[in-house]
Structures are given as structure tokens and as C-alpha cells.
Structure 1
Amino acid sequence: MANPAFAATMMLLLLWWPAHNLLLAAFAWRTGRPRRSVAERGEGLEFWIVIPALNEERVVGNTVRNALSLGTERNPVRVLVIDDGSDDGTPAVLREVTDPRLHVLRRELPHARKGKGEALNAGYRYILRLCEAEGSVARTIVGIIDGDGRGSPGMLREVADVFGDRGVGAVQCRVRIHNRRSVLALLQDLEFGAVADASQSLRDLAGSVGMGGNGQFTRLGVLRRFDPAPWSDCLVEDLELGLRLHVAGIRMRYVKSAWVTQQGLVDLRRLLRQRTRWAQGNLQCARHLRELLASRHVGSIGLLDFLAYLVTPWLTVPLSLVVSLLFVGTLVASWSGVTLGGLIAPPSALPGAALIGVAVLLVPGVVWAIVHRLRLGEEPLHRCLLAGLLYPGFLVLGVVATWRALFRVVARRNSWTKTERLSEEPPEKVSV
């Protein structure tokens, strides 16, 4: 007979994964579709949209035109492209855009290509100088959209309405994937548009909203508190900025009624490289744990959330080792009949245990597929279900990426090759 305490522990661990996802999905269902704001708050706020660009000739033209189209009479916009030493056709593409609201900051080597954070810092200093001369710092909002990003129609109105509350210092918009024709890209949209959206909505209530690289907006006056470099050299400089804002007591909100779409990666090798970089950045962000624990601005619920997503990457490697050992032990037990003193179920119980394990593994992805289909309504049900069934494999990719990231941290490797963009036909229609 299996050890009762061990069996109970394993059952709790087994049920935690689907239970967590089911509760999160239920919360997503309860929050429902994004509700458009009707309040005329945020009147007179001015926006700068910053687009960091390194060899973005395939996408930057569409991105700039989209960003310029987001401005309104109520909330005017200027766009700053930071050309971080591009050696492709990016400068030529930018010269084709003659709108006077477009500013291009060209950085040359050896100052260029020192990371996205440093490029953003250069853009921040450029905007600050202009706004100080104009006397517009207090009414200026700085937004970040990546070279492949597209803002949703009316995005600035939605963001401005939230900033109408003077207590709000930063806003993170929803993120989606716009090239969802491949299942791999649809999996990434399932992750961003459903799972991450639910998590961020819950964090919005808990006061622990996380910042993303695409669709983050911050008051220029708040960024000035971290002058001259609001962003760091961390590989996830966006997440780290959010942590620094929380430690400083800056209130942040999540807006699902405004979104930015980006290109999904359709090649496994490039996706693994991207996720390895993100995982390495998450490992680096653990250095802020002491500040978060000491901060009087971070509530207990928010602190638990920060602990969860800052510590989890460090636990992924040992936990994956434990799961692998249990799997190997189960295979050995099924072949030899040895139960290791009751720690492993006898062969006769393995078929039922395997069925339960498969169900536990697949249920969360299927649930998120249904949430995606019913709440967003853009993809056929069969494609959503296919993505949901493949979701566990997508998570395994994240585990592999974390292993690679840990090796890079140990080896003190911090350099990266930029992810190559897919070609686009101008003008591109944003499909969301």
C-alpha cells in the first residue's frame, strides 16, 4: 500500500495545476468582455509613443503609421522612433513617412546596440528635454510600442481615461498576437489574450499589475523620478521597471479595453530563444525581492503575487527534476513491479493513474481554449481546441527555456541576437 501522507501530498500537487487554472478562468469569465469607458477623463493629456527599432525594415513602416493614427484632438500624439544603429533599410523606411509628428533619434555605434533599456533611456531623455522646454511634463504620457506593435482603435482614449485619475502613474494595456494563422502563433495568443489577460485583471484588483514591453504607458513625471535611466540593462527591462514603480509606491492599472498586437513567432527555434531571454530576465529580477519585502507600499496580497512570479523561475529547474524522477520511477515500477516501499503505485493501478494524469494535464488548456473562443470570438472552435490540447507542450517549452536561462546566468552570458521579424504588406489591417 502506498504511503498515505505521500499519496495525499502527490494528490494535492496533482490537483493544484488544474484547480489554479479553473479558478483563474472562472475569474476571466466573470470579468467578461472589456467595457468601453464613457467618462471624459484625461482631457488634454499628450502622448509620446516610443518605438525602439533595430533592423525593423519589415515592420516599422506599418507600426509608425498605426501609432500616428492613434492621436485625437483630445489627446494628441507624437511618435519617437529610436533607430538603435540599424544597418538594414530601416532609415529609408522612416524617411518615407513625412508626418511632422514623427521624430527619429538615430543612435550610432559605439553608443548603439547596448540593449533595449539603454535605447529607451535615450528616448526618455530626448522627450524630457523637449517637454521641459514646452512646460508640458505634467500632462505628458510616454507609451512603448515595439517595432512590430499595433495599437487598437481608440487606445489612447481608453488609456487617457484611466490616467484621468491623478493617482495612477502607469498603465499596462492588453497584448494580442495579430498573425494567428499558424497554430504556434495561436498558442501565443492563447497565452497573452486569455491566460495573461486573466492574470493581469486579477493583479489589477490586488495592486500588483506587471509591466510588459508592448503597450506600457507611464507619466513622464513618474519616469523623471528615476532620471536619468528609468530602464535598466535587465533582459526584461519592462518587468523590472514595473517592480521599481511598485517599490516606489506608484499606482499601476491594467486596461483590457485597449490593446497592442504584435507578431507571434512561427518557428520553434526562435520561440525558444525568445522565451530563454524572458526567463533569464525573470531570474535577474529576483534581485528586487528584498526591496519588495521592505517596501511599505506593497500590500500583502500583491507581495504574495510578486513572490510567486519572481521565485517560480528559480523553482522550475528542481521541480522539473523531481517530476522527471517520478516519471522514470513509475516506468521502472511498471516494468519491475517494485514500488519503492509504497512510494509508487503498483502496476495494476498505473492505467487509472495515467488516465487521471492525462486529464489533469489537458483540462487547463482546453478550458483556456473555450475562454478564448467564447470571449474573443475570432477563431474557430476547432483551432482553439487544437491549441488548447497543445498547450502542455507549450509549457514544456517554457521549462526548457528556463533550464537554458539558468545555464546562461551561471555562465554570466547576457548578450542576445535580435529576433528576426516576418515580412508584412503595407498597409496591414489589424485583426482583433
Structure 2
Amino acid sequence: MLDSANWLLALLNAMAFILSVAFLAYVVMVLRPFLWHREIPLGDRSDFQWHIVIPCLDEETVIVDTVEHLVDTFPEATVWCVDDASADRTLVLMRWLETRYQQVRVISRVPPEAQQGKGAALNAAWRAISAEVGDEADRSKIIVGVVDADGRLEQFGPDVITGPSMFGDPGVGAVQVQVRITEDVDALAATDLDRLIGENARTKGDALLVRLQDLEFAGPIAAMQFLRRRTGSVAMGGNGQFTRLSVLDEIGDWKGAPWHGALLEDFELGLHVLLLGHRSEYCHDTFVAQDGLPKVRDLLRQRTRWAQGNLQCWKYLWQVLNSPKVPLSGALEIAHYMWVPLSQILGSVVFPLTAVVHLAYALGDPEGPEGWLLSGAWGLIPLAFLFGVLPHALWGLFYRSHCASLVSRRMALGMAAVNLFYGYLLQIAAWRAAYRVIRGNGRWDKTARAGDAVTATVREHPDRHPTATTRPQLQGGI
């Protein structure tokens, strides 16, 4: 029995050590390019034609503000609103926007084609854009962007992503901009510091969860993208992705349509861009802002969908590893990213089980827990801190210095501590995703908006809404 227990302890220690060292090594790899980032030269947005797509499903609380921001900030862009058979007033508001702004186009999808996932809605926009620009246009000079219904693009974004290292380079087929998560997308997009640090932001009870999401996107996810710039494997995101129309056409000719059925349709698109031999780029010098999710339940639903989409993309791994158009470093980085949900599941078992076995040994030692520690087990404590705690905690400090200088030192330290537990939420999402894959459940679960809960208040008190007086006073649904 003792030999079996020793064997189990040795196995768990080895697995925990390998997972921890691999995680810490990856953190070190992504930090170097992230911390040494330098701003890129600007381009000229007028060299390109712009089409921005907003896929929508029940987005009546946010769609008007988003479209008006795009129309006011980017008057040169055509804005395509795709309604995916919304049950609320989204389509009615879209039609009203279409009559008010000449650059707004509305695409209405109806069952049974509707609500088949975000990719299907984006494909409908691609076909409409293709028909409008015609075959005579230089489609390599036409940029198609995707913005969420609650998104805010930074005003100089088109000039930044057309620079010589971005779309100014003919070899670049797609660009993903930095994503920022906030409680006030308009304040962040306008860099309105008073609103960002106002009383509402300081007292809101769910602000910490939103801050942790911003830390994740502006910290670890951005750092991963910097590494991917070097490995040639930049991933596309669901918000703030920009692709040449000519590249979308190539994917369409190859696969029938640019976007496909994975729940992580943005990552899937990025894989196809790379497999065709185009380069994808990440731009940290501009951003798209979106509302954070203040409730743990909504965050888990979103991350479960992302993790499941990651697992669905495993079918491309062999093709990526064998493609002569994807560099070896990029293929290995993609393989690592696809492994992440499985590593989260494995880690969620190995680390707690290792702790339980060590505790059992400590309690069963004839000299008590103190004797167990003094016999050499104490060395596990600094190792656990170095490999298991420090990599998570570092991001709280880097977040303040590189992403959010308005965060106080005390808040940064608090986020550094809480970020470890935030990682456990992602492990839960990985388990849920695996369960859905095993069950064969590929249903698209829409992420709830933070503003959905106050829809009734906006209707009852239109004077409190900044644009209520200019919108049609509609009764009921559509």
C-alpha cells in the first residue's frame, strides 16, 4: 500500500511540475515582446474602402448607440447591420437607422436560415458586400471589419491598421486590434477620464469582474498576440477583426464561405487566412471597446462557448502542422493554443489531487505535519508560489503599468491576488465545454448584455437615455 501511495505521489508531483514549468515558460515567452512594444507608423485610411459589419441578435439596448458612433466617427465606412431574427425591436431600430443614415445597410435573416451562429450571419454580410462593390472593384483595397453590437472603435483605428506593417503591406490579409473591456464603452473610446474613474465606476459592486476581463484581454491575451506576431500565427477575435475582401473571397472559393460552423468562428477564420498563405497581424496601438460581463454566470456561458469552439477547431490541427504556408513556429503555437482547454481540465485535477495527497502524507507522518515539512516537503511551498501563483499575480502589476494607469496600486495588488481565482472560472468553462462536446451540443448560446436588465427602465424613463428623444417611440416587439 505504501509503495502504491509513493508511486501516486511521484506521478502527481511530476505531472504538476511539468504543467507548472510549461505554464511559467510560456508566460516568460509572451512577456518579452509585450513589454518591449513600440508604436507602429500610421497609414492613410483613404487608401482603402471600409465596410463594417455588426451581427445582431436581440440587441435593442445597444444597436442605436453603436451605429451612431460608427456613422459619426467613420463617415467613410458603410455599416452593415445583420439582424438574425431578433425577437425584440432590433430590426425596427435598424430600419429606422437605415432611413436616417445613407451609409447604413440592413440585412434581415429569417428562419430557418437565421440563428445558425455568428458565422452564418457574417457570411450573409459578405455576400451582400460582394454584390454591392461588384467585380470591377479592387477587392484587395476593400477592408471588411467586424464589430460587436456594443463595440466602440477608437477613432484613429483605420489610420493605424493601414500602416506599413499592417494593411500597408500587401502580404497582410487580416488584422486584429486590441480588445478592451469596460463598464462604459463611450468613455473609454473617447478617453473620458472623468467618467472612467467616476463615482459609478468606483461603487459598482461588479466592477472587479469587469476589470479582470479587461486585465485578461489587455494583458495575457495581448501578450500572446505579440508572441504570435513573431511566430506567424496571430489569431482573429470576434470583435475588432479586419480582413481584406479579396482574402474573404479566396476562403469562399476554397470552402464555400469565409466563416464556418465552429463556435469560435473568429479563430477558425484566422486559421483559413494562414492556410492560404496570407499573414495576419495584431495591432496594439488602437482598440475596440466592449461592455464587460458583470455576472459570473454570463461569463461562464461566454467562455464555455469559446472553449468549445477551440475544441471544435482541432479538426484543422493536422492540416496546420503539415501546411507549407504556415511556419513551424506558428504551427506549434497554434497547437499549444488548442491544447489550452485540455491543459485546464488536466490541471484542475492534478493540482488539487496533488495537494490532497501531500496533506494526507503530512497528517499521517508519525512526527505530525511539522515533521513532514521539516523532512524536506517545505520546499514545495516556494515552488507552488513560483509556478502556480506568481505567473497569475504578475498580470495585475503589469496591468497597471502598461494598460490602466488609472488603477491604484492597491487595486492592482488586489487584482493580482484575485486573478488566480479568475483562472479557476476558466477551468470550469473548459469542463463545461468538454461536456457539451461529448453530448454533441453545438448550440450557440448568446452572451447576455449588461444593459439588458435595464431595458424596461429605458422604456419607462426615456428622458434618462441620452438619445431617447431622437429615436422612434415604438410599442411592443416586431
**Do the structures match in fold with TM over 0.5?**
yes
Counterpart residue number, 1:375: 402
Residues 1:28 and 2:72 aligned together: no
Counterpart residue number, 1:45: 48
Q: How does 1:175-186 map to 2 (within 5 A)?
A: 175-179=179-183, 181=201, 182-186=207-211
Residues 108, 5 of structure 1: CA spacing in aligned structure 2 closer, same or farther, 3 A cutoff? closer
Counterpart residue number, 1:229: 257
Paired with 1:70 and 1:203, the residues of 2 have a C-alpha distance of: 30
Per-residue CA deviation, residues 48-75 of structure 1 (Å, 9 max, x unaligned), is 0000000011111121122223426xxx
Deviates more, 1:203-212 or 1:21-30: 21-30
Q: Tell me how large the CA RMSD over aligned residues is.
A: 2.6
Paired with 2:120 and 2:445, the residues of 1 have a C-alpha distance of: 16
Contact 1:25 1:367 in 2 (8 A): no
Residues 270, 9 of structure 1: CA spacing in aligned structure 2 closer, same or farther, 3 A cutoff? closer
Letter of the 1:163 partner, please give it: F
Residues 9, 265 of structure 1: CA spacing in aligned structure 2 closer, same or farther, 3 A cutoff? closer
Per-residue CA deviation, residues 180-217 of structure 1 (Å, 9 max, x unaligned), is 74110110101101111111012112111001101111
Paired with 1:88 and 1:175, the residues of 2 have a C-alpha distance of: 27
Paired with 2:340 and 2:397, the residues of 1 have a C-alpha distance of: 27
Counterpart of 2:372 (choices 341, 346, 365) is 346
Deviates more, 1:318-327 or 1:105-114: 318-327
Residues 1:401 and 2:429 aligned together: yes
Counterpart residue number, 2:77: 77
Counterpart residue number, 2:227: 202
Contact 1:201 1:254 in 2 (8 A): yes
C-alpha deviation, 1:422, in angstroms? 1.8
DSSP 3-state at the match of 1:399: helix
Q: TM-score, normalised by structure 1?
A: 0.89
Residues 1:163 and 2:175 aligned together: no
Residues 1:285 and 2:285 aligned together: no
DSSP 3-state at the match of 2:134: helix
Counterpart residue number, 1:389: 417
Paired with 2:236 and 2:150, the residues of 1 have a C-alpha distance of: 18
Letter of the 1:67 partner, please give it: L
Counterpart residue number, 2:141: 139
Q: How does 1:204-219 map to 2 (within 5 A)?
A: 204-219=229-244
Deviates more, 1:10-19 or 1:195-204: 10-19
Paired with 2:289 and 2:273, the residues of 1 have a C-alpha distance of: 24
Counterpart residue number, 2:94: 94
Paired with 1:147 and 1:265, the residues of 2 have a C-alpha distance of: 14
Residues 133, 303 of structure 1: CA spacing in aligned structure 2 closer, same or farther, 3 A cutoff? closer
Counterpart residue number, 2:328: 300
Contact 1:373 1:380 in 2 (8 A): yes
Deviates more, 1:51-60 or 1:22-31: 22-31
Identity among equivalent positions (%) equals: 34
Letter of the 2:86 partner, please give it: S
Deviates more, 1:378-387 or 1:82-91: 378-387
Structure 1: unaligned runs, 5 residues or longer: 340-344, 428-432
Paired with 2:466 and 2:260, the residues of 1 have a C-alpha distance of: 34
Residues 1:316 and 2:344 aligned together: yes
Per-residue CA deviation, residues 104-137 of structure 1 (Å, 9 max, x unaligned), is 1111222211111111111100100111166353
Counterpart of 1:191 (choices 216, 222, 246) is 216
Paired with 1:350 and 1:144, the residues of 2 have a C-alpha distance of: 53
Residues 1:61 and 2:89 aligned together: no
